[in-house]
Amino acid sequence: MKRTVTQLADGRELIYFDHDENADRGAADTRELPPRPAASELRYDPVMDEWIAIAGHRQGRTFLPPTDECPLCPSRPGHATEIPAADYDVAVFENRFPSFSFNLGHYEDVGGLSEVRPGVGRCEVVCFTSRHDSSFSRLSPEQVDLVLVALADRTDHLSRLEGVEQVFPFENRGAEIGITLAHPHGQIYAYPYVTPRTRQMLASAARYRERTGGDLFADVLATERKAETRVVASNEHWTAFVPAAARWPFEVHVYLNRRAADLRELDAEERAAFGPLYTDVLRRLDGLFGVTMPYVAAWHQAPVRTGRDLAYLHLQLFSIRRAAQKLKYLAGSESAMGAFVNDVLPEEAARMLREQP
């Protein structure tokens, strides 16, 4: 594997990850780009004990451009993109419209109980392939392995940045989810705080350990593997199952069969085993209703400094589609109260996924 670091025209970092050690990544970004925006503003919500990023500059980000104007495709004569090379394997670069960055601006106190501070951190775009018409489900095992190498590399680098507390790789796929670019890609958020969901999961794991002496995530996995009812697929290193209390119509959690804190701890065999299982689950999801399923794929890994002994690396995959022509919207109960109501029995969802050819 070859790793090449370069810069885009406005100073943002671009990293190529290539199978070929001889790949030439000397192409320069010839565009004239505007100055990079100032970092967002973080405002503290004392009622919910959460930080909210106010990032007005993101209103102007690229929105569903035509295929021939995609900014994530390789550059070609007459159309320079975020990727100067004429082709690439995996490319990672700093987001042009980031929710968090180290390019600080001016921040004023808004009064009241809402503390204000700069939204320091970093947001990166991960291009899984140069093929615009592809998808993660169609990647070869070798390509998935390279993506995991890139995610582990970025987790390591971003975790070392001053002010970063959590690194979160994820993929949004499908117009129904609200994507702004159709090219197969994911993102990585390096947050300046530990996110609410992670705080809640770690608190649950801490209480479970205090009460039972056990590992909450390991025991959940062991129970699901023993019951088999909600298991969708498994191999020597990974298990994919529908959680018993799934929030979404079709939700699958992919657990490593041993505890690891984050992606950096995966060994070569575990990386190699992930691709065939995960892409199989994605294809089963697409096969449910004969349409391309929108989904969010979220890597849950340990924060940088807290709860690392409690965290358990796993991937959460979920779709908002509940039937061929029906989507699940987050209405009153979910949006206002955070109280989910699922329309699909988890055991039935698991059976439907298992029965896909």
pLDDT of 154 reads: 98
pLDDT of 145 reads: 98
pLDDT in tens, 148-183: 999 999 999 999 999 999 999 999 999 999 999 999
Residue 185 is among the residues annotated as catalytic for this protein: yes
Annotated catalytic residue within 157, 183, 185, 253:
185
The residue extents of the domains of the chain are: 2-193, 197-354
Average predicted confidence (pLDDT) for the chain: 97
Q: By the 8 A CB rule, do 165 and 305 touch?
A: yes
59: DSSP letter: G
- Extract the tokens encoding 274: 């992930």
pLDDT of 60 reads: 86
CA 107 – CA 116 distance, rounded (Å): 7
pLDDT at residue 98 tops 90: yes
Question: Coil, strand, or helix at residue 106?
Answer: coil
How far is residue 190 from each of residues 95, 136, 164, measured CA to CA in Å? Answer: 12, 22, 6
pLDDT in tens, 282-321: 999 999 999 999 999 999 999 999 999 999 999 999 999 9
Q: Average pLDDT, stretch 176-193?
A: 96
The dihedral through the CA atoms of 197, 199, 204, 205 has a sign that is positive
Q: By the 8 A CB rule, do 16 and 90 touch?
A: yes
pLDDT of 194 reads: 98
CA atoms lying within 13 Å on the CB side of residue 66:
3
Q: Does the predicted TM-score (pTM) go above 0.85?
A: yes
* 76 burial type by CB count under 10 A (0-12 exposed, 13-18 middle, 19+ buried): exposed
Q: By the 8 A CB rule, do 345 and 244 touch?
A: no
The dihedral through the CA atoms of 290, 300, 44, 52 has a sign that is negative
CA 14 – CA 4 distance, rounded (Å): 8
CATH class, 197-354 region? alpha beta
Closest Cα to residue 15, out of 124, 139, 114?
124
For 327, other C-beta atoms within 10 Å of its C-beta total 13
pLDDT in tens, 231-287: 999 999 999 999 999 999 999 999 999 999 999 999 999 999 999 999 999 999 999
Q: Average pLDDT, stretch 95-106?
A: 96
Tell me whether domains 2-193 and 197-354 share a fold.
yes
Which residues, 6+ apart, have CB-to-CB distance to 356 below 8 Å?
Answer: 283, 284, 287, 288
- Extract the tokens encoding 116: 């204000």
Q: By the 8 A CB rule, do 16 and 88 touch?
A: yes
Q: Average pLDDT, stretch 209-225?
A: 98
How far is residue 286 from each of residues 70, 137, 316, 319, 353, measured CA to CA in Å? Answer: 24, 9, 16, 10, 10
61: DSSP letter: S
- Extract the tokens encoding 102: 């180290």
Closest Cα to residue 241, out of 217, 271, 264, 265?
217
DSSP run (H or E) holding 221: helix 216-227
Q: Look up the CATH architecture of domain 2-193.
A: 2-Layer Sandwich (3.30)
pLDDT of 176 reads: 95
Which residues, 6+ apart, have CB-to-CB distance to 200 below 8 Å?
Answer: none
DSSP string, 174-219: SGGGT-S--SSEEEEEEESS--HHHHHHHHHHHHHHHHHSS-HHHH
